[in-house]
């Protein structure tokens, strides 16, 4: 469970970095520049403002998802630590 959450977090971090890099590149363009976005296997012509708005929305979604995954990861780690402590207590009180 922890491994899967960490993997998902890593994937979202990559998508977030890609969105941030694309936004940086868009900022370098003139306002009337022709921009193409990938939709499946094809590229579709759009304008800079629309592309930027879509990327900002994706970035916000990735940010929220990343925060959620980080919280889940921390909760899983805390549960694991609590279980370890319970096992230690149990084993410490058991005589063989």
Domain with 34 in it: what CATH number?
A: 1.10.287.370
Contact 51, 26 (CB under 8 A): yes
- Please state the pTM of the whole predicted model: 0.78
Q: Is the dihedral of CA 69, 72, 77, 78 positive or negative?
A: positive
Would 74 be classed as within a structural domain? yes
Please tell me the total count of domains within the chain. Answer: 1
In a domain, 21, yes or no: yes
20: containing domain:
2-85
Q: Which of these, 36, 55, 38, 56, lies nearest to 46 by C-alpha position?
A: 36
- pLDDT, tens digit (0-9, with 9 covering 90-100), for 30-65: 999 999 999 999 999 999 999 999 999 999 999 999
Residue 96 lies in a domain: no
Task: Let me know if residue 91 belongs to a domain.
Answer: no
34 is a domain residue: yes
Map tokens 């929305």 to a residue. 57
Return the residue matching tokens 């959620």.
Answer: 68
Contact assessment for residue 57 and residue 21, using Cβ atoms and an 8 Å cutoff:
no
For the stretch 79-90, pLDDT in tens is 999 999 999 998
């Amino acid at each position: 469970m922890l491994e899967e959450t960490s993997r998902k977090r890593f994937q979202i971090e990559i998508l977030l970095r890609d969105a941030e890099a694309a936004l940086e590149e868009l900022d370098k363009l003139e306002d009337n520049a022709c921009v193409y976005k990938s939709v499946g296997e094809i590229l579709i012509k759009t304008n800079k403002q629309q592309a930027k708005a879509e990327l900002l929305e994706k970035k916000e979604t990735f940010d929220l998802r990343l925060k959620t995954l980080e919280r889940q990861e921390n909760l899983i780690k805390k549960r694991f630590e609590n279980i370890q402590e319970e096992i230690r207590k149990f084993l410490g009180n058991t005589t063989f």
